[in-house]
């Protein structure tokens, strides 16, 4: 079974409920979750200057995108390749990268959407364009991590749901606000030969006190849809025995 564990986490500038920036608490949550990949949203320049840059080393992970000033980043225990930054408009950005697992590859996306309904719809249209999720040349399974901001569905989200399938784990998928989660601000969508086999949202009281938005964690498994060729069993050769004069040796 080829499986890995991923997290999407809108850290909201790493501020606690009192407005204090505390990157260590984010690191503690990631460390306790024992994940292979983390998609971060809400990482601004002030957060980077206050300790976020050192966080990956303490976690034993590599950072991708922290130097791009997009508010987004990936953390990973294994190397990621071909990192790209895309402009979604109205200040929105999207990161795309590739994750290799054994001899398989997975396309990873990470973005954060605006709270403004018009801006957000425009960003989702860009996200589903030919350069990104609408690219038919993407040959591998896709995992989309995102901070969807608003609590209510809009036409852009419905279009995304028509193309991708939203991860069904856990059953109750609300992540925001952390103190009393009411809607799924953090979401993961899938496409292709990949499926979710487990998932949860940390609901411990300490985590809900220290975060504005809770992370979503999924265990994903790559599916092998290749059908092995069935070879026909060769028939035994027919041996004819000829008796009579001249049939001996010597």
What local confidence, expressed as pLDDT, does residue 218 receive? 98
Q: How confident is the model at residue 230 (pLDDT cuts 50, 70, 90)?
A: low
30-74, pLDDT tens digit by residue? 999 999 999 999 898 777 777 788 889 999 999 999 888 899 999
pLDDT for res 242: 53
Q: Tokens 């856990």 correspond to what residue?
A: 170
- pLDDT surpasses 60 at 92: yes
Place of tokens 């992540």: 175
Region label for 151, one of left (φ > 0), alpha (ψ between -120 and 50) or beta (otherwise): alpha
Q: What pLDDT, on a 0 to 100 scale, did the predictor assign at position 186?
A: 95
Alpha carbon distance 114, 44 (integer Å):
15
For 133-156, what is the mean pLDDT? 87
Q: Which of 84-88, 145-149, 158-162, 172-176 is least confident? A: 158-162
Assess whether pLDDT exceeds 90 at residue 127. yes
| pLDDT for res 240 | 60
Instruction: Show the 3-state SS of the chain.
Output: CCEEEEEEEECHHHECCCCCECHHHHHHHHHHHCCCEEEEECCCHHHHHHHHCCHHHHHCCEEECHHHCCCEEEEECCCEEEEEEEEEECCEEEEEEEEEECCEEEEEEEEECCCCHHHHHHHHHHHCCCCCCCCCCCCCCEEEEEECCCCCCCHHHHHHHHHCEECCCCCCCCCECCCCCCECCEEEEEECCEEEEEEECCCCHHHHHHCCCCCEEEEEEECCCCCCCCCCCCCCCCCCCCCCCCCCCC
**Residue 227 binned pLDDT confidence (cut-offs 50, 70, 90):** low
* pLDDT at res. 246: 47
| 27 in Cβ contact with 35 (< 8 Å) | no
83 falls in which pLDDT band (50, 70, 90)? very high
Q: pLDDT tens digits for 153-196?
A: 767 677 888 889 999 999 999 999 999 999 999 999 999 999 99
Domains, the chain, in order of start with CATH, read 3-222 (3.60.10.10)
Calpha distance 79→75 (Å, rounded): 10
């Amino acid at each position: 079974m080829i499986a890995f564990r991923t997290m999407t986490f809108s850290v909201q500038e790493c501020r606690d409920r009192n407005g204090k920036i505390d990157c260590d608490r984010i690191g503690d949550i990631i460390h306790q979750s024992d994940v292979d990949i983390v998609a971060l949203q809400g990482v601004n320049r002030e957060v980077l200057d206050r300790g976020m840059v050192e966080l990956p080393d303490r976690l034993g992970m590599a950072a991708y995108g922290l130097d791009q000033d997009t508010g987004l980043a990936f953390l990973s225990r294994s190397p990621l390749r071909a990192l790209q930054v895309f402009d979604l408009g109205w200040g929105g950005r999207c990161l795309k990268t590739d994750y290799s697992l054994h001899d398989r590859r997975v396309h990873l996306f990470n973005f954060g959407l605006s709270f403004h309904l018009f801006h957000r719809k425009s960003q989702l249209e860009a996200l589903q364009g030919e350069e990104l999720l609408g690219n038919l040349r993407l040959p591998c399974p896709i995992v989309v991590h995102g901070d969807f901001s608003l609590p209510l569905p809009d036409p852009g989200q419905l279009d995304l749901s028509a193309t991708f399938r939203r991860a069904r784990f856990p059953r109750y998928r609300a992540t925001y606000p952390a103190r009393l989660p009411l809607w799924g601000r953090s979401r993961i969508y899938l496409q292709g030969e990949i499926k979710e086999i487990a998932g949860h949202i940390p609901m411990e009281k300490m985590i809900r006190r220290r975060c504005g938005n809770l992370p979503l964690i999924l265990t994903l498994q790559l599916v092998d849809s290749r059908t092995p060729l069935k070879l026909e069993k060769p028939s035994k050769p027919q041996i004819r025995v000829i008796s009579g004069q001249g049939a001996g040796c010597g």
